[in-house]
Amino acid sequence: METSEAGQKREYDILFASRMAGAGLSSTTRIGIAVSGGADSTALCILASRWILQNGGSSANLLGLIVDHGLRIESASEALAAQSRIASLGIRCEILKCFWPVGVPAHGHLQEAARNARYDLIQKACKRNNMDVLLTAHHLDDQIELFIIRSTRHSGLAGLAGMPFISKLHRCIPEYGGKDVIHALLLVRPLLGLSKNDLYKVCKIHDQLWVEDPTNKKPIFLRNVVRSILTKPDFCMLRKELPPLIILCGNLRTLFDKGRDFLLREAVSIDEVFGYVILDLEKLKHARASEQSIKRMLVAVLQFVAQKEKPPRGNIVQSLVAHINSNPLKGALTLAGCNVCMEPGSKQSRIIICASCESKLPASGQPMNVVWTWDPGSCSELCAPGLHRMETSVATTCIMDNKLGNDSTARFMKVESPLQFLTEAREVGMLSERSFVALSELMDKLSLKSSHNLEEGDLQKRHVGMGGRRSVDLEVPCGHACYFMNRFWIAWGTRTKHQVTPCNQQLAQGCELVSKESSCMQPERPLWIRYMEEKDWIFLSQCIEQKKNVRDLSSGGNYKESSFWAASRRDLTQQNAESYKMNETQHRVHALPCCFSCWGKRVQDAVAKLKRMPVPVRRGLPVFVTSQGALISIPSLGFSLCPNIWVFSRFCPKVPLGGGTASWL
């Protein structure tokens, strides 16, 4: 590197320009920049502003985004100071304030919660300002620290590859009208090839000040502990020897992901109505893919079905591998937020992987449900994307991932653990004996800290088949849409004025027969949405079995007692209709009698469809119920007990199958 300041500026400009070109960005791209005020993001703003001007662009295409987490008293003043410094570079800056309505999370979950809140605010700001790309200031030292942290957690090669150079953020951004409900933001990390010292140097040669966050030195976070250890003489050589290993892991991950993409195309199909995945074991067997590619495929499927931002851990994937390799298949399995079971009638050649409503969500993180008002007159206003698969091209063959031009690289193909990977690296001369010993000792030392979740609250539950069904009840007012569990867009509303006549008198719990001119479902009464429960299935089944006992409503607004409903005579024209309980089922179901001749066919059709579904799929369906828990509608089936409401459901996963665009090169 040149020694003069002008020469150093030129070299950093060239390096930065090459990375921006590698990401496919031009000076006309509208770009958001995550700014903290530290040396990393300050250097990023310096390089970005110089790059866009040197390439004939305008700094108006850049937007700095500063998040004030509100975790320290001085954070507000520091955000203003950072805004002023970035503005001096010609970059407009917004300060985004983070609020903690239920209090600041405990520090075991603090970094994860802060990161989630930060990216939520930033992505909303990017959408609001029509920014297509987000730059972050992650650098080489971050990659090295992450490699060590993931080594202590026994990550596979995919995890050891660290952060990708390019990826996509898929987040829900509700807007009035339900438009643009899923916003995919391209995330680019152009500084991964530069060290922390490089970024300090960039700031200094451009005479820019920065602020140091004191929390970065607190040993309560595992990353800070690793950062401190790497400054010691016995470990400083790791900064030189680990980057080539990280690059190797990235190359291997890219190779495995090509095989994964082939398997996703050939052996995996998606039910685009109910959102479950079918894995064809016969096609998988004949694909001749490497074990690593198969695991990467299973990771993608589990992450897609569970709709979690983070992939499942390696031991969970290994449990699924063992399950599908068992002969014969041993029943059902619940793991990583998914149910795994055989497809009925497939003779063990295909398995179904569907969302489990029995696995608990993480204690912290994103709200899973979003509700807002939209025009109930047109379902087209929900502009949900129709493609659920990743948008990158897939490999035409996966035989290639068993053929490597470099023999020294081929020996890493079957590596199963970080220690095995480091051992192979030492054998081929990529890691010195001194570094191998230092890393091994460091992994042992930090494993205890990592297992106690010192840094982040993101360690997933390792239990298979977590107990206790989770109740996910969400109030949805009339004319509102709901994004339920990151996978279903659901809405309901009342139809135009509907006349209730003696031949069309259908009531469900929560409906009122007020007058012949009004709708039986009152718009001011919300419905609730939850997973389908066994009592709903029993209720529908009993409707079929006991249909002869169901009596029509009398023309005077009264109904007669029946053994099915086990209710006394009561005038239905009063303001608050009472709910009645069926006494012939183990689960007491709230409902009102209806004219079976009017909706009996719909019930029969719904029951027929439900019977064809595996039980785990059925239990993952969202249903509309009243405040007392009585079934009103199964939106995914287009079924409703009340004819005076419309329902809408569309499977619209936030995270596409395969995770979307990503590059480690």
pLDDT of 342-358, one tens digit each? 988 888 899 999 998 87
Is pLDDT larger for residue 637 or for residue 494? 637
Tell whether the model's pLDDT for residue 638 goes beyond 70: yes
Is pLDDT larger for residue 301 or for residue 652? 301
Sign of CA pseudo-dihedral 275, 276, 280, 281:
positive
* 8-17, 73-82, 656-665: least confidently modelled range: 656-665
Give me the residue spans of the domains in the chain.
5-219, 496-643
Tell whether the model's pLDDT for residue 424 goes beyond 70: yes
Tell whether the model's pLDDT for residue 266 goes beyond 90: yes
Averaged pLDDT for residues 498-502: 40
Q: How many CB atoms lie within 10 A of CB 262?
A: 22
- Name which CATH class applies to 5-219: alpha beta
- pLDDT, tens digit, for every residue of 441-469? 888 888 755 554 444 434 333 333 333 34
Averaged pLDDT for residues 530-553: 72
Which range of 298-302, 414-418, 465-469, 568-572 scores highest in mean pLDDT? It is: 298-302
Which range of 335-339, 476-480, 597-601 scores highest in mean pLDDT? It is: 335-339
Of the pLDDT bands very low, low, confident and very high (cuts 50, 70, 90), residue 515 is very low
Gyration radius from the chain CA atoms? 29
Averaged pLDDT for residues 21-45: 96
Angle in degrees, CA 128, 131, 133, rounded to 5: 140
**Nearest in space to 510 (alpha carbons), one of 497, 496, 522, 498:** 522
Q: Which pair of structure tokens corresponds to residue 171?
A: 């987040």
Tell whether the model's pLDDT for residue 316 goes beyond 80: yes
Is pLDDT larger for residue 423 or for residue 462? 423
**Nearest in space to 368 (alpha carbons), one of 493, 479, 480, 470:** 470
Query: String of b and e for 131-158 (b: at least 16 CB within 10 Å)?
Result: bebbbbbbbbbbbbbbbbbbbbbbbbbb
Position 546 scores a pLDDT of: 61
What is the DSSP secondary-structure string of 168-228? EEEEE---TTS-S-EEEEEEE-TTTTS-HHHHHHHHHHTT------GGGG-TTSHHHHHHH
Residue with tokens 């010691």: 232
- pLDDT, tens digit, for every residue of 67-79? 999 888 888 999 9
Number of H helices, E strands in the chain: 18, 22
Q: Which pair of structure tokens corresponds to residue 562?
A: 């029946």
- The mean of the pLDDT values for the chain is 77
Cis peptide before 328 (omega within 30 of 0): yes
CB 528 within 8 A of CB 476: yes
Averaged pLDDT for residues 646-655: 86
CA distances from residue 324 to 337, 345, 349 in whole angstroms, order as listed: 17, 17, 10
User: What does the alpha-carbon distance between residue 191 and residue 20 come to, in Å, rounded to a whole number?
Assistant: 10
Position 280 scores a pLDDT of: 95
Averaged pLDDT for residues 262-274: 93
Position 238 scores a pLDDT of: 94
CB 236 within 8 A of CB 315: no
Averaged pLDDT for residues 427-439: 94
User: What does the alpha-carbon distance between residue 564 and residue 640 come to, in Å, rounded to a whole number?
Assistant: 20
Bridge partners of 474?
529
Tell whether the model's pLDDT for residue 649 goes beyond 80: yes
Averaged pLDDT for residues 280-307: 91
- Phi first, then psi, for residue 279 (nearest 5°) are -105, 120
User: What does the alpha-carbon distance between residue 583 and residue 473 come to, in Å, rounded to a whole number?
Assistant: 24
- pLDDT, tens digit, for every residue of 355-409? 988 755 444 333 445 555 544 333 333 433 344 555 443 333 333 344 444 556 7
CA distances from residue 617 to 174, 190, 354, 593, 652 in whole angstroms, order as listed: 27, 42, 6, 28, 16
Position 576 scores a pLDDT of: 35
Which range of 277-286, 441-450, 508-517, 553-562 scores highest in mean pLDDT? It is: 277-286
Tell whether the model's pLDDT for residue 637 goes beyond 50: yes
- pLDDT, tens digit, for every residue of 99-141? 887 778 776 677 788 888 899 899 999 999 999 999 999 999 9
CA distances from residue 182 to 185, 456, 656 in whole angstroms, order as listed: 10, 27, 11
Q: Which pair of structure tokens corresponds to residue 518?
A: 């009004």
Averaged pLDDT for residues 244-269: 93
Position 448 scores a pLDDT of: 59
Q: How many CB atoms lie within 10 A of CB 485?
A: 23
Residue with tokens 């009342």: 494
Of the pLDDT bands very low, low, confident and very high (cuts 50, 70, 90), residue 484 is confident
Averaged pLDDT for residues 247-252: 93
Tell whether the model's pLDDT for residue 298 goes beyond 60: yes
- pLDDT, tens digit, for every residue of 57-66? 999 999 999 9
Q: How many CB atoms lie within 10 A of CB 27?
A: 15
* 216-220, 263-267, 389-393: least confidently modelled range: 389-393
Position 660 scores a pLDDT of: 75
Of the pLDDT bands very low, low, confident and very high (cuts 50, 70, 90), residue 215 is confident
Tell whether the model's pLDDT for residue 418 goes beyond 90: yes
Of the pLDDT bands very low, low, confident and very high (cuts 50, 70, 90), residue 595 is very low
Tell whether the model's pLDDT for residue 226 goes beyond 80: yes
pLDDT above 90 covers a percentage of the chain that reads 38
Position 408 scores a pLDDT of: 61
